Structure 1
């Protein structure tokens, strides 16, 4: 049986694709990867299973059986997503080649549908690595299709690499708990030290 500890990923978007990209952070001026072991990847997939019912215990067991292959593909996919998303966050448009890349990934594990817990769930058919990437690619393609990708922003903290969707048009920080609060504390300290 798979038992997983509570995760500490900065899940600030509730989008599989963006939350995967945000598994890399900057802390103490160094880039840190929250997915650097089998346990880390399993924790992340387990957490993502809250939004994607396909990522259940059975799927996680298959990941463990082919961990090296699955983890390598997920991390390569994350790298492509980060490059594309950062370009879009800087004002670029989704490249047609990126859209084709996402569509090809979905085609490698197309979806069937099941009702799970009174919700219609997407269930990718195919190898476990292709199935996971298909779910993530669908999420990214959905952001492009719905134009929500135009709300993609980078945190205003120049030492932060987290990305988020600014649905209000006023958001500056990845999270008030992470960078927003740090900025408030820093401004307060500067005022009180004068």
Structure 2
């Protein structure tokens, strides 16, 4: 699934990583199945975090499994938070363990694989620190697993282009029957 269209709906590195898993036709799909997919995601995310664009395919070949494990941990905790829980101390400690040299840095130093996870952990910790994490929501479409930040307090859908429009079309068809 190289060059997959990623649903970039949050402008947050950690949430956009979690949102690389989607539901389509009632099945879960992983948009980062290969090193090329991961490179495509890095390239796209490099628009907001240019550091990610510097990686070569050779540098990310070992990354795929670590990214999947990291994403699974983020998803577990983000979903819990979206359901109303507070960020747990264990989650914060997990994120802090990913930070290189115990320094929060927008562009971390170190080995590429550690730097990537450190940058994503930094983003998640920043959401917690700024309390934006309290705005974390799950899409109202029960078949959708995407997460987003509801900054207005009224948002229900991950995106009007994705689930919001589907809901509108469904309501329209029901009215006209």
TM over 0.5: yes
Matched, 1:75 2:68: yes
Bigger fraction of residues in strand: 1
Distance 1:21 1:6 in 2: 17
| Bigger-Rg structure (1/2) | 1
| Count of residue pairs the alignment pairs up | 176
Match of 2:173 in 1: 189
User: Which residue, 127, 142, 164 being the options, matches 1:143?
Assistant: 127
Matched, 1:28 2:21: no
- Aligned partner of 2:9 in structure 1 is 12
Shift of 1:7: 4.8
Residue by residue over 1:25-45, the C-alpha shift from the partner in whole angstroms, topping out at 9 and shown as x without a partner, is 000100000001121111101
Inter-CA distance 107–44: structure 2 relative to 1 (3 Å threshold): same
Inter-partner Cα distance in structure 1 for 2:115 and 2:70 = 13
1:109–1:126: 8 Å Cα contact kept in structure 2?
A: no
User: Is the CA contact 1:17–1:137 (under 8 Å) kept in the aligned structure 2?
Assistant: yes
Deviation of the 1:107 alpha carbon: 2.9
TM-score, reference length from structure 1: 0.86
RMSD: 1.5
